[in-house]
Amino acid sequence: MSSVVTGEMLKAAREAASIGLSAMATRTHFSLSHLSNVEAGRRAPTADLIAAYEQEIGEPVDRRSFLALPPLAVMPELVAPHVESGRIGSSTIARLVERTARLRQMDNVLGGADTYRTFLGELESSQRLAKSATYDEVTGRALFALIAEQAQQAGWSAFDAGWQERARKLYELSREAATEARDDALTGNALAFLAYQRQGSATDAVEIAAASVARAGPAVPGAVRALLLERLAWAYAIAGEPRETERALDAAHEALAREGQPSPDWAAWVDASELQIMTGRCWAQLRQPGRAIPVLENVLSAYPDLWGRDKALYLTWLAEAYRDAGEVEQAAAVLSEAQALSADVASVRPRQRITDVAATLAPYGFSLS
């Protein structure tokens, strides 16, 4: 990236961080008209102004200048896989599916702001292939299933980075592609992603999550059904419905234990540990620390620190459970551990959770360092 910061780059970084121009003026104490002139290129940004933007955004402006591009734009600096023309068959799709599976592993250790361009580039490449190549019905369905899968991964990265509107558009694209592919499992998962994103509206989240389970149906692989059911359980927990939460969690455990067809790679991460984590999260959300603490303590003790983003997130629910159990010192210690784990991860989710939980511990004298 260039070290020269322009007004256009400041605007792109501000919009990527979902900060309005008026809000930025209030936060930085520069006038609204001055910021407007700088972002429009009528005035050059000063070092003080650039520093003020970077303080509010949380990272260097030039690192995020790529976000000026629209949500589904191709990133020109990304080396995309070769796009074929002419007729393609199963071997082409198999190669792209394998590539997508390998790239998905980045999500274990990197935050969404770091993986977004890569996943989006893969999606765009597959979309171009769908337009430029010819193929039979079977290959076409497999290609659209791949597009649905890639859109979900790119949407997840956008969600993790805090870019909610981009995430929503990608999830909707995924649902359309999965429907075209006639893949009920992927269609259900697209709905589950949309439900997970709607945590601020408990009624909508429950309705969409229930629809995801119904759309996928009982015949999908066990890990897929368990994934959709655990997200339904989380929606019920957000809505404050413990009985329905427990029912969905029990069904998820039963689905995972069921023998049957192998799971697709995009659901292969769903295992007994994942369900235990979600179980603990649900009980912490429902403010039942006696049920949350033993589960979360047990599973997180063996959870690798290398997966810093996820472990930091899960620790925030353990901290909440300790707080609700009256163990404030333990809650503070766990939250400090979460803060250390999330320090270098390009994800807004653990930082926001840590900030929110820390605010509830402030009356006890705790503050983030």
Task: Indicate if the pLDDT at residue 295 is higher than 90.
Answer: yes
Find the Cα–Cα–Cα–Cα dihedral 204, 206, 208, 212, rounded to 10°: 170
Tell me the sheet residues that pair with 133: 86
Distance CA 42, CA 359 (A): 41
Q: Band of the pLDDT at 84, cuts 50, 70, 90?
A: low
CB 92 within 8 A of CB 84: yes
**What is the predicted pLDDT for the residue at 242?**
97
As assigned by CATH, the class of the 7-68 domain is: mainly alpha
C-alpha 67/C-alpha 137 separation (Å) is 36
Q: Mean pLDDT throughout 53-69?
A: 61
Residue 206 has pLDDT above 80, yes or no: yes
> Which pLDDT does position 61 carry in this prediction?
72
Structure tokens at 140: 């076409």
212-256 pLDDT per residue, tens: 999 999 999 999 999 999 999 999 999 999 999 999 999 999 999
Alpha-carbon gap, residue 135 to 119, rounded angstroms:
24
C-beta atoms surrounding 56 within 10 Å: 14
pLDDT confidence of residue 12: 80
Element (H, E) at 73: none
- Can you give the pLDDT at residue 203? 83
Calpha distance 317→335 (Å, rounded): 9
Q: What is the pLDDT of residues 173-202, one digit of tens each?
A: 999 999 999 999 999 999 999 999 887 777
Question: How many residues belong to the chain?
Answer: 369
Q: What is the mean pLDDT of the chain?
A: 87
CA distance 190 to 200: 18
Mean pLDDT for 73-84 is 42
Kindly state the helix (H) or strand (E) to which residue 133 belongs, with its residue range. Answer: strand 133-134
pLDDT at 195: 94
pLDDT at 309 over 50: yes
Q: Cβ–Cβ contacts within 10 Å for residue 300, how many?
A: 19
Q: Which of 313, 316, 273 is nearest to 295 (CA)?
A: 273
User: How far is 292 from 158, CA to CA, in rounded Å?
Assistant: 29
Q: How would residue 62 be classed by pLDDT, with cut points 50, 70 and 90?
A: low
The predicted model gives 305-333 an average pLDDT of: 95
Provide the percentage of residues in the chain whose pLDDT is more than 90: 61
- Tell me how far apart the alpha carbons of residues 109 and 278 are, in angstroms, rounded to a whole number: 20
Name the band, by pLDDT with cuts 50, 70 and 90, for residue 2: very low
pLDDT at 60 over 50: yes
Q: Residue 4: pLDDT band by 50, 70, 90 thresholds?
A: low
Residue of higher predicted confidence among 12 and 256:
256
- The yes-or-no verdict on residue 73 having pLDDT over 70 is no
341 membership: H or E segment, kind and range: helix 328-342
- Mean pLDDT calculated for residue range 285-302: 96
Report pLDDT for 77: 38
Averaged pLDDT, 267-279: 93
CA distances in angstroms from 134 to 82, 89, 109, 143, listed in the order given: 15, 9, 37, 11
Q: Enumerate the domain spans of the chain.
A: 7-68, 74-181, 183-270
Query: What DSSP designation does 327 have?
Result: -
* 29 vs 24: CA distance, rounded Å: 8
Task: Round to whole Å and give the CA distance between 114 and 78.
Answer: 13
Rounded to two decimals, the pTM is 0.75
Mean of pLDDT values over 17-32:
85
119 touches 154 (CB < 8 A): yes
